[in-house]
Structure 1
Amino acid sequence: MPNTHALAVMKTTGTVFLIVLTLLVLAIPAQRTHAGVRKWKTYQKTQLFELVGSGAYFYVTGHMTIDADGAPDAYHPDNTGLDHLKHAGYPGTSWWKNVLVTDPKDPEKPYVVPDGPYQGYYLSMTSLRDMTKVPTDPSRYVDASRVPYLVFPSTFSRLKGVGALGDLGVAVNLDTGVYSPFIIADIGPEKHPLGEVSIQLAQRLGGGNVCPRVGPEKPLGEILYIVFPGSGDRFPWPGSEKHIDRIAEELLMSIGGTERVFVWIGRGSNLALSNSTNPDKT
């Protein structure tokens, strides 16, 4: 006759084992999420990843275009500025008024800086502005030649949770390990891909003598962008380049640095990082 007590114990033990095994299996994806990264959104074939629990996200792209807007010498009537006038849409388009400040005396013409070191240049705008300054004051806008900034395509900027003007982040050249903090300072055209950056950010990431008009010597390879949505509310613009550097690096440290991001994208955790600044733009 079977030992009913022994059978009961075996049955109970087996049930407990199955429960534990089930819990372990179910915990596998949870542990992967707890490790800190999960797929979030896709924008034009660029995958965005969420850094779980931090509010931050990141993406990697090899695409890069250069924005000169906000630099006081970005555009000149003789087309001798940092950027080509066609990139401002002037003349010949209706959207140039989204790029260049209009003349208060004749809104159908761009404003020309009347004096100072940039006399004769058109004044270009960024979407992020110091609203305490008048529209014809160059310091109202974010200088692309001095400030490392990121541009959001307007389509992307309307996505929920991606951040807004004034938010901060960190960009890393994955080929060299050179990195730079940045601020989101401009909104670009509809449906453009991610990867438009200011002259200064391109230079910090390894570009040489970046000048969109004559052909930017932009950095090669893939760039990692880590964005901290909502950070602009805590650290409002205007601020200096040093302010951006300090706060963005503090935000990076608050998520434990770049290690889990590098592991996730298959670059390992041993990529040697070096902060790059342009010594000519202090």
Structure 2
Amino acid sequence: MENLAKILLVNLSLLLSLPSFWVQAEECQFEPWQEYKQQKLLRNPTKSAFLFQTEHKAIDADGAPNAYHPENTGLDNYLNAGYPNSNWWNSVLVADPSDPTKPYVQTNGDFAGYFISKTSLFDKSKADLDVSRYVDATKIPYLVYPGKFYNKKGTGRLGDIGVAVNLKSGEHSAFVVADVGPTNASLGEMSMALAENLGGNNVNPRNGAGAPKGDILYVLFPFSSRSYPWPLELDEIHKIGEELVGSIGGTASIITCASQQE
């Protein structure tokens, strides 16, 4: 973890660059709540938000129309989708309606020949074989919840909005909770788009290369999806994230909470 002195130095430059409506308070409004895999979680008194800080990062390509390919030439290794040697591939890849024992291969469009990769969050108005039904990891900044974390009381649900801040670089981004990953995974798996927004460079889901450096501070607004149901446009995600952070005291307030997680 970054020590408090380094965090404060980064925070000074960060606060000078943030929109004024984010810089509203300098006192942490969060209190210790619980732990997940030795990861400390803090929650505000109204239970409208919680946060955590982690150095762990994993990059997710799920939902991208070119995420996985039968010849393993997609953005990610098809072994990470459980294909072809595992029996859980259909939790990541859309099954072929004519032969459910095999993944469906796109027959037209820009990514004909690729499988269709799913996300746990999806647009219910779209058909299963419509790639736009799923949350594209290359375009939408999203966070992945480990299975056990998703099932914990108070952590919210799919479609909830949050904001992430890179405590090393100061880069920040709103995001949506769009996928549920392996049961016992660590917190910190993010879409390619979120990784790029937080300072990543040519991120590679296959091996994690190009991931943003430094600890990432995440603030989540559980059940915010009730007020802002999916689907949302990219600019809507960012606008909602900014408004929600402002409602709990601004980015300056949540950054001061980082020292409480050491």
Q: What amino acid is the match of 2:162?
A: G
Q: Cα 1:91–1:230, aligned 2, differ >3 Å: closer, same or farther? A: same
Cα offsets for 1:19-77 (capped at 9, x unmatched): xxxxxxxxxxxxxxx96221001000100001222510100000000110000000011
Give 2:216's match in structure 1, choosing from 211, 215, 223.
223
TM-score computed with the length of structure 1 as normaliser: 0.81
**What is the Cα deviation at residue 163 of structure 1?**
1.0
Counterpart contact for 1:81–1:213, Cα < 8 Å: no
- How much identity, in percent, do the aligned residues show? 49
Match of 1:181 in 2: 174
| Residue 210 (structure 1) aligns with | 203
Structure 1 residues 234-249: aligned runs within 5 Å: 234-249=227-242
Contact 2:28 2:257 in 1 (8 A): no
Structure-2 residue corresponding to 1:166: 159
Q: Aligned to 2:142, which of 149, 152, 156? A: 149
Task: Kindly indicate whether residue 226 of structure 2 is the aligned counterpart of residue 233 of structure 1.
Answer: yes
Letter paired with 1:204: N
Pairwise mapping of residues 1-40 of structure 1 onto structure 2 (< 5 A)?
36-40=29-33
Mapped partners of 1:212, 1:224: distance in 2: 21
Paired letter, 1:225: Y
Match in the other structure for 1:124: 117
Which consecutive residues of structure 1, in runs of 5 or more, have no partner in the other structure? 1-33, 268-282
C-alpha distance in structure 2 between counterparts of 1:168 and 1:94, whole Å: 32
The match for 1:260 among 244, 253, 262 is: 253
Offset, 1:92: 0.7
* 1:81 partnered with 2:74: yes
Q: What is the CA distance between 1:237 and its match in structure 2?
A: 0.5
Map residues 91-106 of structure 1 onto 2, 5 A cutoff. 91-106=84-99
Superposed CA offset, 1:80-106 (max 9, x none) = 111001100100100001000000000
Structure showing greater relative contact order (alpha-carbon pairs closer than 8 Å, 6 or more residues apart): 2
- Aligned pairs, how many? 234
Question: Residue type of the partner of 1:148?
Answer: P
Given the alignment, which residue of 113, 127, 130 partners 1:137? 130
CA RMSD of aligned residues (A): 1.4
Specify the alignment match of 1:112 in structure 2. 105
| Residues 231 and 140 of structure 1: CA distance in aligned 2, closer, same or farther (over 3 Å) | same
Pick aligned residue for 2:41 from 26, 38, 48: 48
1:146 alignment partner, SS class = coil
Counterpart amino acid of 1:43?
A: Y
Q: Larger Cα Rg: Structure 1 or Structure 2?
A: 1
CA distance in structure 2 between the aligned counterparts of 1:65 and 1:204, rounded to whole angstroms: 14
CA distance in 2, matches of 1:63, 1:102: 32
Structure 2 distance, partners of 1:138, 1:146, is 13
2:21 is matched with none
TM-score normalised by structure 2 residue count: 0.87
SS in 1 for 2:259: coil
Change (3 A) 1:189 1:250: same
For residues 129 and 155 of structure 1, the distance between their equivalents in structure 2, rounded to whole angstroms, comes to 20
Aligned equivalents of 1:215, 1:161: Cα separation in 2: 30
1:171–1:182 Cα contact (<8 Å) kept: yes
Equivalent residue of 1:180, what SS?
A: strand
* Counterpart residue identity of residue 189, structure 1: P
List runs of 5+ in structure 2 lacking aligned partners: 1-26
The residue type paired with residue 52 of structure 1 is P
Kept after mapping to 2: 8 A contact 1:40/1:50: yes
The alpha carbon displacement at 1:214 in A equals 5.6
Q: State the distance in 2 between where 1:260 and 1:116 align.
A: 46
1:215 is displaced (CA, Å) by: 4.5
1:199-225 superposed Cα distances (whole Å, 9 cap, x missing partner):
000010000011212653100110000
